[in-house]
Amino acid sequence: MPSKSKFLRGKKIDPRPIKKNVRVVELVDKHFQAYNAGRLGEACRLFAEKMLNPNVTIGMSLTGALTPAGLGGSCIVPLMKAGFVDWIVSTGANLYHDTHFAIGHTLHRGSPFIDDRVLRKESVIRIYDILFDYNVLLDTDEFFRQVMTEPEFQMEMSTSEFHYKLGKYIYARERKLRLPFNSILGMGYKLGIPIYTSSPGDSSIGMNVAETVLMNDNKLRLDVLADVNETAAIVLDAKQSGGWSGVLIFGGGSPKNFLLQTEPQIQEVLKINEKGHDFFIQFTDARPDTGGLSGATPSEAVSWGKIDPAKLPDTVVAYVDSTIAMPIFTSYALARRTPRPVKRLYDRRSVLMQRLWRAADRVRKANSKNK
């Protein structure tokens, strides 16, 4: 008989019945066999088998209303505690709504088909099928405004420093309330995980910063350019210290691009010899052909220098709702791998920035000599 085609060497599709109460690892490895279930399985295995090696620095981006659905405390924070996430870029909205839980408020399951005119009359806010009292927003706003009047906030700072300082107060509130979970900002403070917001004015946290500046002559200013350099410094250090850089993307939008643009900042702008991120996982429901994928596919990202061309096989895009993928992905990772030591990159910001400056300065001096 002629030899089989190389394309038929993959695992056989197995239609055997699923067991009741099947464990997540078995569910993913045995029953997520094709289509986007197959891609979700590939993402789980890439993360557990390669990205979670000790010398990989992992950045995560968060877009979409994930934390109102409880995914901050249930999934993101466990990944942080396990050392599976080293730095984060998030929308301000995810950090804001996550804080509702941390300061003792509740959000409730509901229906997306309620008459919103009735909800408005009853002072109920709706995020699709999540409902909560309007006062939750007012109380959270007041919490942030009070904290931001503290002396340590009266200066210009990157969003990582801003979030770290906010996290100290949020973590203290969580401990006082004896909550059975933690917030992203609270855990970022405790573990020294830098957290950035690529568009800090585009959220209720940013709106409250603006209010304190307008009404109270507050000296707080957010330096978004410092964020650009800090995130580039994290990636450069990961690569030049003999390690790898991996990106874990939930959704798309500005946080995704901000996570990925670290490599063009290093290569294109600072002219430092680099090749791109080594690992790429994204969960999204957007399409590349409409221009809505925010940073595009891993293959297209290669053309920008965002992804190392040689590492393209270590990239996965699963076109699936993040609220479905994240609990499965998190459970799989926690089951397959033991915790890694926390890198505490926030504590090393000045060292990382010095390394970036020295590398860029060497290039600048070399270019000056060649002119």
Domains and CATH numbers, the chain: 35-104+139-364 (3.40.910.10)
Q: What pLDDT, on the 0 to 100 scale, is given for residue 295?
A: 62
Cα within 13 Å of Cα(185), Cβ side:
35
In the block, tokens 């990636």 appear at: 235
Looking at the DSSP assignment, which residues form a beta bridge with residue 216? none
Taking the model in full, what pTM does it have?
0.95
Please state whether beta strands 315-318 and 279-283 pair in parallel, antiparallel, or not at all (unpaired). Answer: parallel
pLDDT of residue 370: 76
Nearest CA-CA partner of 194 in 237, 155, 134: 237
Known active-site residue 306: yes
The whole-number pLDDT of residue 292 equals 73
Annotated catalytic residue within 190, 306, 311, 343: 306
CB atoms within 10 A of CB 75: 25
The ranges of the chain with pLDDT < 70 are 1-3, 294-295, 371
